[in-house]
Amino acid sequence: MAAQPAFTRADPDARRQSLIEATARVLAAKGAAGVSVRTICAEAGVSAGLLRHYFASVSDAIAETYRWTGAQIDSALEQAVAAAGADPRARLLAYLTANFRPPIATPDLLATYVAFWSLTGSDPAVAAVRAEVYGTFRSGLEGLLRAYRADLGDARMAAVALTALIDGLWLELSLGEAPFSAEEAEGLAAQWLDCLTA
């Protein structure tokens, strides 16, 4: 009978992804102050030296985790828009209101974002990814606004205003015990949209 190997090597892309997901979990559970090579690797179940094989630093791992988290949100938004059909207003509202339900409106995602935000002022790599992630969100929103109202004068400022509304409602819903429901948030987003595009 042949001896079984004591361990198996994970695909490098899969190992890197497991470190990104472990970083997100550590950020959610311990905040920015609790993130270190040791805590990330312990969460991923790998040796402490492995992080440096895939990332130049903890800051690099956090920045890539932010980028991956943003991509997960983009994917959820794209699915919501696709499910809304062809009507431009319905697609735009789907993009806005998907932010009020899982997988976007969750305590874990909020906790991870709070950690990202806390590092934005002190870590240039995280700040750059924040600008990238929010830029992608606003760009998607502007595109949907223009598809809905080609005659809209300043889609950029309408997107900025809607983003601020979405962020505030998302924050309250993600914290839990919000003084409004997801359905009420959706109604408010629709009202704001109508006012901004009137």
pLDDT single digits (tens) 50-77:
999 999 999 999 999 999 999 999 999 9
When pLDDT is averaged across residues 13-40 and rounded to a whole number, the result is 96
Does residue 44 lie in a domain region?
no
Q: Is the pLDDT of residue 144 over 90?
A: yes
Does residue 176 lie in a domain region?
yes
In the chain, the amino acid numbered 197 is: T
Sign of CA dihedral 54, 14, 44, 6: negative
Residue 26 CB burial class (10 angstroms; 0-12, 13-18, ≥19): buried
Sequence-distant (6+) residues with CB within 8 A of 73 are 104, 109, 133, 137
Q: Structurally, how many domains does the chain consist of? A: 1
Query: 5: pLDDT confidence band, cut at 50, 70 and 90?
Result: very low
pLDDT top residue among 4 and 80: 80
Does residue 169 lie in a domain region?
yes
What is the percent of the chain where pLDDT is above 70?
95
Does residue 106 lie in a domain region?
yes
CATH number for the domain including 150? 1.10.357.10
When pLDDT is averaged across residues 99-119 and rounded to a whole number, the result is 96
pLDDT of residue 1: 43
Structural domain that includes position 168: 60-196
Question: How many Å separate Cα 39 from the centre of its chain?
Answer: 22
Question: pTM, whole model, 2 decimals?
Answer: 0.89
Does residue 162 lie in a domain region?
yes
Cα-Cα-Cα-Cα torsion 55, 59, 60, 65, nearest 10 degrees, comes to: 110
Does residue 53 lie in a domain region?
no
Does residue 36 lie in a domain region?
no
Question: How many Å separate Cα 154 from the centre of its chain?
Answer: 26
